[in-house]
Amino acid sequence: MRIEIIAKESGERIDALLARSIEGLSRSRAQKLIAEGLVTLNGIPAQKSQVCKIGEVYLVFLPEDTGDKLPEAEDIKLCIAYEDEDIIVVNKKRGMVVHPAPGHTSGTLVSALLAHTGGRLSDIGGETRPGIVHRIDKETSGLIIAAKNNEAHAGLKKQLQKHEIVRIYEAVILGNLKSIKGTIDKPIGRHPVHRKKMAIVEGGRNAVTHYESVAKYRGYEHIKCRLETGRTHQIRVHLASVGHPLLGDSVYGKGKEKGLTGQCLHARELSFIHPINGEKIEILTDLPEYFTDVLGKLGAKSE
């Protein structure tokens, strides 16, 4: 839902304006909308402490209501890479949605985790996202951490905020990069027109991706990406912004190719400090079958 809000006086904070102007919207919910880039002024995401000026027109994009109820546990098989009393790391298959969203209320990772843990998940992330510390896209496969209690969740979240959790992805992109390794440092925010997309926008949130070539093919390249930050669709948006979208990406690239629908992207490596016992956890997965199948269709490697 798209709503226009016109500031009728100067000096009021944007979160207060939204809470006062939209029926049923709390100030904390308004702050969350702002943090997610769903409130814009002239196409630029608003900042949480932004002070309004009279006559300014803000666009607010309200996501559809999912019911905000605890999802039901579902007996769905999980590939577990690590588990103890406090945390669980799952190697998510592509096609699985992490938490309930419009059109995806069942079959989610959250539902599978609820069944597997008997409901022993943190509640810091809210009722619809128990245990979820960070997310990966539906068509992205690979490692994702969940917390079984609030102490573990808070510790992991702190590491994420300090960029202390190492997350390395592998991807196949269109074309060949000019350099063997490099860094893309471009701010990301909601697309000013297409609200389901992200984009490089002035005033967006800081986003940094480090990349390195694994192998070059004619017209394609297998790369590694290390996230310094973790914005929505970050790798997909950053690579598309330099002219090398991910193979199969229907949102930021050409779409279905080499028999693949959805981006060729796998969260392969993960390392962090255990939030309770302080031990270093390092996990490396094999590339999934869909990924190796794609590599087999790219032909001979090039120099």
- Residues that are catalytic: 137
Distance CA 253, CA 241 (A): 10
Distance CA 78, CA 76 (A): 6
Q: Which amino acid is at 279?
A: E
**Tell me, what DSSP letter sits at residue 205?**
B
Over the range 95-120, which residues count as b (16 or more CB within 10 Å of their CB) and which as e?
ebbbbbeeeebeebbbbbbbebbeeb
Helix, strand, coil percentages, rounded to 5, for the chain: 20, 30, 50
User: CA end-to-end span of the chain, whole Å?
Assistant: 50
Distance CA 214, CA 195 (A): 33
Write out the H or E segment, with its range, that includes residue 200. strand 198-200
* Residue the block writes with tokens 């209690």: 149
- Least Cα distance to 123 among 94, 148, 97, 142 occurs for 148
Instruction: Identify whether the C-beta of residue 258 lies closer than 8 Å to the C-beta of residue 298.
Output: yes
Torsion angle in degrees (nearest 10) through CA of 121, 135, 33, 67: -50
Distance CA 290, CA 259 (A): 9
